[in-house]
């Protein structure tokens, strides 16, 4: 079973373009740059091809882990100390309490056991470090509209679907908050990227997403150790 799932994930995550959004990238970039200092230790759990870490390369030393060996090759070319790691099988290859910032963007919905991701993120984070966690919002305005009209709000039923991206679970604000608090984090900031008003995403509002983040496309949490 484990070998089969490894093969499936390698195929699903061969390309990284679906896992990030410009607005989410921008928020993470701004948040990391707000941390004082130029010699930070930064880790991206689920770094893909390293595009996100590349934005903050002026802030210090960059480390990343991912399950996709194809994507990791690209991350290494960008100068990132990237390692293969499947958190469902093993721990992060880092010592305790060494990172000023840990990022996990659009990843927690993909792992078999999210408890391990949160436990490991906390373990490698410094006492005063920040953990930036993002995941799709099941209760976004757009998904609520789809449900209202008896349409599938982009929920996957199988990793073998033609347009599957490997989502294993879905979060809304209260469930994600409850989970991170259970693993010893406290919420510092909750925001979102955009509120979409139709399926293509062309009609949207970033301002309303900041004012009413529980309706936004993405749940964006900035966390610290409790």
Q: Of 8-22, 61-75, 110-124, which range is least confident?
A: 8-22
pLDDT at 211 over 70: yes
Q: Where are the domains of the chain?
A: 2-136+171-192+217-225
Q: What confidence category does residue 15 fall into, taking pLDDT thresholds of 50, 70 and 90?
A: low
Query: H or E element: which one contains 132?
Result: strand 125-136
Q: Yes or no: say if 132 and 106 are a contact pair by the CB < 8 Å rule.
A: no
For residue 22, the model assigns a pLDDT of: 87
Q: Of 96-100, 120-124, 149-153, 168-172, which range is least confident?
A: 149-153
DSSP-derived letter for residue 198 is S
Could you tell me how far CA 88 lies from the centroid of its own chain? 16
| Cα–Cα distance measured from residue 43 to residue 123, given in angstroms and rounded to the nearest whole number | 12
Average pLDDT (209-222) is 97
More confident residue, 11 or 32: 32
Q: pLDDT for 111-162, tens place per residue?
A: 999 999 999 999 999 999 999 999 999 999 999 998 998 988 888 877 777 7
Q: Look up the CATH architecture of domain 2-136+171-192+217-225.
A: 3-Layer(aba) Sandwich (3.40)
pTM, to two decimals: 0.91
């Amino acid at each position: 079973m484990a070998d089969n799932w490894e093969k499936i994930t390698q195929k699903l995550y061969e390309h990284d373009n679906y896992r990030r959004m410009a607005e989410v990238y921008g928020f993470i970039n701004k948040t990391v740059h707000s941390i004082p200092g130029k010699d930070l230790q930064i880790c991206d759990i689920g770094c893909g091809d390293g595009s996100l870490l590349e934005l903050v390369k002026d802030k210090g030393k960059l480390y990343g882990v991912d399950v996709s060996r194809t994507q990791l090759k690209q991350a290494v070319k960008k100068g990132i100390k990237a390692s293969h790691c499947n958190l469902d099988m093993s721990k992060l290859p880092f010592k305790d309490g060494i990172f000023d910032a840990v990022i996990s963007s659009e990843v927690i919905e993909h792992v078999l056991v999210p408890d391990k991701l949160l436990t490991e993120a906390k373990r490698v984070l410094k006492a005063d470090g920040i953990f930036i966690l993002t995941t799709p919002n099941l209760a976004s305005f757009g998904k609520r509209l789809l449900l209202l009209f008896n349409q599938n709000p982009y929920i996957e039923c199988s990793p073998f679907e033609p347009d599957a991206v490997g989502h294993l679970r879905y979060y809304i604000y209260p469930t994600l908050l409850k989970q991170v608090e259970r693993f010893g984090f406290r919420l510092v900031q909750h925001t979102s990227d955009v509120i979409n008003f139709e399926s293509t995403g062309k009609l949207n509002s970033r301002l309303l997403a900041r004012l009413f983040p529980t309706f936004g496309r993405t749940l964006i949490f900035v966390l610290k150790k409790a």
